[in-house]
Structure 1
Amino acid sequence: MAPNFLQGLLEALANPEADPNLRRRALRVYGLFLLGLKGCFLLLLAPFLPQAPYPPLLFLAVIGMAWLHLQARSALEEEAPLGPLIAVGLGAGAFFFLGVLGLLLRPFGLFLLPLGLGAFWLFLRRGEEGLNAGTRGS
């Protein structure tokens, strides 16, 4: 039953004329899958990343997040059917990026992990808005 359910969600996500609530749910499942995958990779990397208290890494985090945000906005505007998927993928990438930098800057840099979750949530919301805009435009 679970593979059929997931297959139905993915088909609804690919079909712009499917039920908007089902498409939104599918986007959330896709985003949570990516977030869980990236979180598992962070857990696996944590013991191997050295502590590197190098303050310019915080500047790199800010620049990287600004660039990812611009990429997500651009994808939502230009990549018509796949823009929301790209934005959610970039949100998961932002979580991973900030997570790695947070692990390098630990113990104080660990505050970047909740910021990464916030960035993922923001990109997921933007992706959902992009889904809604795509259904209204049809």
Structure 2
Amino acid sequence: MELTSVQDAFKAPDARFTGDVYTTPLKTAQEPSRLLAALVRFTPGARTNWHSHAIGQTLHVTEGVGLVVSRDGTVIRVRAGDTVWTPPGEEHWHGGTKGTVMCHVAMTEIPGQSDGTTWLEPVTDEEYSAAQQ
């Protein structure tokens, strides 16, 4: 067994997120494991850019209310205790609602040297507002 002490949170990069998003690393992928995990906190209105994952992603909500939206227009409203799986290659975004904080544990298997995430364009204010309905 090995204990990993709490790591410092850092502000997620503006190039990949809109609004204030903070990440606390939980697990780095170390052979033979390919699991990468982080606690991600979204302030109201904050969200990721559109993106996809080579091997998919699991999101487990720990606090608040948020949104997970796929490029085909599917909107999933998530609450604490909910878990969402986004399959490999599915373009999606996630974040808090307009009035609530949302925290989730993001779990991704990495395919090799990179984390397997393909980052795309920011979610527009219009796309974000439409998902609130």
TM-score (norm 2): 0.29
Normalized per residue, which structure has more helix? 1
TM-score (norm 1): 0.28
Q: Give the number of the structure whose alpha-carbon radius of gyration is greater.
A: 1
